[in-house]
Amino acid sequence: MITTVCLNPCFDKTVSVDRLLPGQVNRIREARVDLGGNAINVAVVARRLGLEAQCLGIMGENGATELTALMDHEGLTHRFLTVPGGHVRTNMKVYSLDGQGVTELNEPGTQVTESILQEFTRIVAEDTADSDMIVLTGSLPPGCPEGTYRDLINALDGKKCILDTEGRELELATKGADPFLIKPNLREMEATLGIELRTMRAIRDAALIFVRLGVQHAVVSMGAMGAMYISADKTLFAPALRVETKSTVGAGDAMIGGMLLGYQIEKNMARAFRYGIAAGAASVMTEGNQPINRSDFDALLDQVRVQEV
């Protein structure tokens, strides 16, 4: 069983415009709304790849029925605490068709209280008894104190935890807990450490900072440049696969889902790395925040090339 933890789920609304003009009226050409929240995305990808997965989380009561229906449609097992009076947030991705890129407008989410967090921590500890791996990822809603991810990992009593976050939460979790794997992207790694990372050696050395603090494995995704895997005794690099990119939303979540499958098959995270590369590439081939297609993943897996550096 794989469990993912989603403290701040959302609806992902993706719209496209001919050209984004700040301060002016922009006509939307296409729009779609998908199930959102990093941990939900990971769980959906894991299920589509054939793994048994569940998602635990917190959400506002307004919009909960609609969000639950989307999770049910994916066949996802889930258990969410609802916050009375709260709203499930909506995150908007604006695609400018002239090549400007994507502009994201993300709502903060519903305020949570200490008592809700305490109850949720109890639920997580209780409902992960049979879980082989636990994924903690995504933004935290207002009301969460610093070190929320650290405290959740410590409450899980030695379970293998994958952490995908940045900044202070990443710092505190790696200093005060022992994540099995961290998966920041390059921008997140640079922002957390406050330095520019322009070479593979610099990225490796940055990841080793966290490895020396007790992290067993680190994967740094670098978009079109590919990705790196770093542990105490091995560094691997995989170039990005050449695929038609329709949307990069959720690619990092898909990479984690792929590595979960790879770890179940290979029993080795370094060998599982290439499964993550294939899943991330399959993800960008779908529009909006749609999960990957298993057939795309299977076709890409043999194309992944991993080299030791």
Digitized pLDDT (tens) for each residue of the chain, 309 residues in all:
999 999 999 999 999 999 999 999 999 999 989 899 999 999 999 999 999 999 999 999 999 999 999 999 999 999 999 999 999 999 999 989 998 888 999 999 999 999 999 999 999 999 999 999 999 999 999 999 999 999 999 999 889 999 999 999 999 999 999 999 999 999 999 999 999 999 999 999 999 999 999 999 999 999 889 999 999 999 999 999 999 887 777 889 999 999 999 999 999 999 999 999 999 999 989 876 677 899 999 999 999 999 998
Lay out the sheet containing 28-36: strands in order across: 28-36, 10-17, 89-96, 101-106
Class of CATH domain 2-17+30-308? alpha beta
Contact 131, 159 (CB under 8 A): yes
Whether 253 is catalytic is yes
pLDDT of residue 288: 66
pLDDT of residue 177: 93
From the candidates 132, 253, 298, 302, give the one annotated as an active-site residue: 253
* Extents of the domains making up the chain: 2-17+30-308
Evaluated on CA atoms 47, 52, 55, 61, the torsion sign reads positive
pLDDT of residue 12: 92
CA 35 remoteness from chain centre: 13
Dig out the tokens for 94 from the structure.
Answer: 């604006």
pLDDT of residue 292: 87
Cα separation, 295 vs 196, in Å, equals 37
Contact 65, 13 (CB under 8 A): no
Closest by alpha carbon to 17, among 3, 5, 4, 31?
31
Contact 236, 262 (CB under 8 A): no
Dig out the tokens for 234 from the structure.
Answer: 């091995």
| Predicted model pTM | 0.93
Cα separation, 166 vs 38, in Å, equals 13
CA 169 remoteness from chain centre: 14
Contact 88, 10 (CB under 8 A): yes
